[in-house]
Chains A and B, each alone.
Chain A
C-alpha cells in the first residue's frame, strides 16, 4: 500500500489539473488557458506528444507508422499543419507538429514531467485531491484542484488474446507495440494477427521485408484506400457528409463501389454498415499485396502447438515470429472507476457525451473516443466544451443545471451498435452525429445568459 506524506495537500485554488501530455492533454491545456484557467499538467513520461513520441517508454508506434487520416482532417482546427506537408504525414511529423503546438502556445511551462498521477480523490464537494506518485525516495505529493481533465490515452495496455496452447508456444510472440524495427521481420515467416489498421500496416511491412507473411483476421472490416476519386479518402467521404441524406447514400455507394469489389475479389466480406461507422482499415497497399500473394489471409487462429499455429479453417503454419496487432484496452487507472461510470461487468467508462463524468461535474475525460476520423479536432472541440462548461458552472448554477440535462439527453445518440467483441469498438462513435452533438453542447454553453 502506498504511503502518503503526512504533509497537507497544497491547494492550487481554482486551477485545473490535466493528466497526460499527449495530443489530448496539450490541446486541453491550451484551450483551458485560452479561457483564463490556470493549469497544471502532469505527464508520467519525460517527454510530450504521448504515443507519437518514440521516446515515450510505452510508445505503441510500429515501423513506418503514418497517419491513416489525412492532414486536413487530422490537424487541430486553430493550428493547421504546414500546407507543404504530405497528405498523410509520418509519425515523426506528427511529433514535430505537436512539439510546435506546445512551443507556440507556451504549454511546456505548465507541464510537470516524470509525474505519474496515481489517483484522484473527490474532496470538499466538487474539488479534487490529486496524488502524484513519488519518485524514488521522495514522499508523494498531494495537490488540490478545482477540476480534473483526464487525457491519458487508451493505447497503453495491450489487448492480448489467449489462444489454446499459446503459453507453451515455442516461437516468438510480440505485441505490435514491441515491434520497433522492421529488420526484425527480415527473412522470417511472419504471422500477423489482427485486422485493424495496425495489423494491416504491419502485414504490409512484412510483405516487403519478411520471407513470407500470413495475416490472420477474425472479422472483416471495410478496406479503404488512402485516396478516393483523386482525393484523400476521409476528406472525400466527409465532404459527402454535408450532402442531403438520399444523395449522400447514393454518392457514397458509388465512390465505394471500386474498393468494395476489390475487397470482395480478395475474399473479404465487406460488412453492411457503411465505412463511416467504426474505424475502417485505411491502406491502399494491402489488397495489392494480397493480390500478388505476398500476404496470405487466414481466418482466426485456433491454437498454438509447439512451433506450429493452426487456424479455424484447419490450415497450419510454422511462423518464426508472431505479431499480435490485437489493439489495446482502454484503461484509466488514475481515477476510481465509479467516477467514470464503470460499473458491474463492463470495464468501459460510461461518460456523458463521451467526456463528462456521470458522477462529478468537475471531472472530464478528453480523447476517449474512436471516431473513425481524425481524433485531434474532436478533442479540440471536446476541450473547448469542457473549458466553457467549467466557466458556466462557476458563474451560473441555473444554466449549469439545464446544461447538465441536455448533456444527459444527448449522450445516447451516437452509440454505434457494438458489432464486435474487440475493445476498440467500445469507444466508437459516429463522427458525424458526435460532432453535431458537440456543436449543440457548445452552442448552449456559449449562449449569452438570459438576463
Chain B
C-alpha cells in the first residue's frame, strides 16, 4: 500500500461495521492423531463470490486445509451467508476480508474464489497477506493494488478459463502464469475435481509456510 493510498483511505468514511459470519477449523479440532498442527504454517482465510459465503467451504475445504496442519478460516462478507447486507461495494467487501484477517491468530494466506478473488486482491493491497491465491477470478479489478509485503501469488483457473480475460488480467498484474484444474469453475466446493484443485493449492503453499 502506498502512503498516498493510505492517506486517501484514512480520509474516506469507513464502511459500516457488520457482524461477520466466520467459520474456522483448527487441526486439533479434527481429533485425528495423525494430523499435526504445524505452528509455522500460515493460517488460510477463504472467501467466495458464491452467495453461501463461508458455508460454501464447510463441505470440503476447511477440513482438508486443517488436515494439512493449518488453521482454516472462511468469512462471509456483507450480504453473504449469515452476514447482514450493508452498504458498500467491493471496497467494503475487501474491508470485511481484512477485518476477518486481523482476527486470525497469525498472518494469513488469502484464498479468493470468483468475486472473492477480486476482494482478496484488494484486501492484499491493505494487509500483508502471507500469500494470495486467486481461484477462477471474476470481475477482477483492472489495476489491482500492489500486494503489501510482496506475498507469493497463485492463479488457478479451470481449463476452460485459461484464455479468459480475467486470467490474462491477473497474469499481467502479478506476472504469474495460471495453473489449470480439470472441471467446471463452479464445482470447486466438492467432488473429485475440487479435491484435486485444493490439493494443488496446498502443495503450492507447503514450501512457503
Please give the distance in Å from A231's CB to the nearest CB on chain B.
8
Given A34-B149, A438-B3, A439-B4, A82 contacting B107 (CB threshold 8 A): no
Residues 96-110 of A at the B interface (beta carbon under 8 Å): 100, 103-106
Most central of A73, A79, A105, A384 by chain B CB within 10 Å: A79
Q: How far is the CB of B137 from chain A (nearest CB, A)?
A: 23
In the complex where A34-B149, A72-B14, A83-B99 touch, is A435 in contact with B7 (Cβ < 8 A)? yes
Produce 1/0 per residue, B128-150, CB < 8 A to A. Answer: 10000000000000000000110
Q: How many residues of A contact B (CB 8 A)?
A: 27
Residues of B within 8 A of A438 (CB): 3
> In the complex, which residues 418-451 of chain A have their Cβ closer than 8 Å to any Cβ of chain B?
435, 438-439, 442
Bound form: Cα–Cα A78–B3 in Å:
11
Q: Is the CB of B11 within 8 A of A239?
A: yes
Contacts of A106 in B (CB 8 A): 106-107
Minimal beta-carbon separation of B148 from chain A (angstroms): 5
Assembly CA distance A84 to B99 (angstroms): 10
Within 8 A of A (CB), among B1-18: 1-4, 6-8, 10-11, 14-15, 17
Are B10's CB and A73's CB within 8 A? yes
- In-complex Cβ contact of B1 among A72, A78, A84 (8 A): A78
Minimal Cβ-Cβ distance residue in A for B150:
A34
> Once the chains bind, are A78 and B148 in contact (CB under 8 Å)?
yes
- Docked complex Cα distance between A439 and B6 (Å): 11
Check if B6 sits within 8 Å of A77, measured CB to CB: yes
Q: Is B203 an interface residue (CB 8 A)?
A: no
Please pick, from A103, A238, A442, the residue contacting B10 in the complex, using a CB distance under 8 A.
A238
* Least distance between A350 CB and chain B CB atoms (Å): 24
Q: Do B1 and A83 touch across chains, with their CB atoms under 8 A apart?
A: no
Chain B nearest Cβ from A75, distance in angstroms: 9
**A79: contacting residue among B14, B15, B127, CB under 8 A:** B127
Q: Count contacts between A and B, CB distance < 8 Å.
A: 65
Q: Interface majority SS on B: helix, strand, loop or mixed? A: loop
Contact of B102 among A100, A241, A377, A442 (CB under 8 A): A100
Does A78 contact B128, Cβ atoms closer than 8 Å?
Answer: yes
A72, B6: Cα distance in complex, Å? 11
Verify if A80 is at the interface (C-beta below 8 Å from B).
yes
Bound Cα distance from A330 to B15, whole angstroms:
38
Contact check, B106 vs A79: say whether CB atoms are below 8 A apart. no
Rounded to whole Å, the gap between the CB of A347 and the closest CB of chain B is 31
A381 at the interface (CB under 8 A from B): yes
B126 touches A78 (CB 8 A): yes
CB-CB under 8 A from A377, the residues of chain B are 6, 10
Within 8 A of B (CB), among A19-73: 34, 72-73
In whole angstroms, how far apart are the Cα atoms of A73 and B104 in the complex?
23
- Interfacial residues of chain A within 380-400, with CB under 8 A of chain B in the complex: 381, 384
Q: Which residues does chain A contribute within 8 Å of B8, judged by CB atoms? A: 242
Tell yes or no: A235 within 8 A of B by CB.
yes
Provide the residues of chain B in CB contact with A384, threshold 8 Å: 3
In the complex the two chains form, is A34's CB within 8 Å of B128's CB? yes
Q: A77 touching B1 by the CB < 8 A rule?
A: yes
Please report the total number of B residues contacting A with Cβ < 8 Å.
Answer: 27
Residues in B91-140 with C-beta less than 8 Å from chain A: 95, 98-99, 102-107, 126-128
**With the chains together, A80 CA to B100 CA distance in Å?**
10
B128: chain A residues within 8 A (beta carbon): 34, 78
Pick from A78, A84, A238, A384 the residue with the most CB of B within 10 Å. A78
A82 pairs with B102, CB closer than 8 A? yes
Give chain A residues whose Cβ lies under 8 Å from the Cβ of B3.
381, 384, 435, 438-439, 442
The closest CB in chain A to the CB of B14 belongs to A72
Is the pair A235, B11 in contact by a Cβ cutoff of 8 Å? Answer: yes
For A239, list chain B residues within 8 Å (CB).
11
Determine the residue in chain B with the shortest Cβ distance to A442: B3
Interchain CB contact under 8 A, A84 and B17: yes
A80:B7 contact, CB within 8 angstroms:
no
Closest to B4 in A: A439
Cβ–Cβ < 8 Å partners of A442 in chain B: 2-3
Whether B99 lies near A103 (C-beta < 8 A) is no
Which residues from A are CB-within-8-Å of B149? 34, 78
Bound together, the chains give a CA A377 to CA B149 distance in angstroms of 16
Interface residues of A in 238-287 (CB under 8 A from B): 238-239, 241-242
- The residue in chain A whose Cβ has the minimal distance to the Cβ of B146 is A446
| Contact call B102/A104, Cβ cutoff below 8 A | yes
**What residues of chain B lie closer than 8 Å to A439, measured between beta carbons?**
2-4, 7
Between A and B, 6 residue pairs with Cβ closer than 8 Å are: A78-B149, A80-B102, A84-B19, A106-B106, A435-B3, A439-B2
- Starting from the known contacts A82-B99, A84-B19, 6 additional A-B residue pairs (CB-CB under 8 Å) come to A78-B1, A78-B127, A78-B149, A103-B105, A106-B106, A439-B7
Which 8 A-B pairs give the minimum distances between C-beta atoms? A83-B17, A439-B3, A77-B6, A34-B149, A239-B11, A84-B17, A78-B148, A238-B11
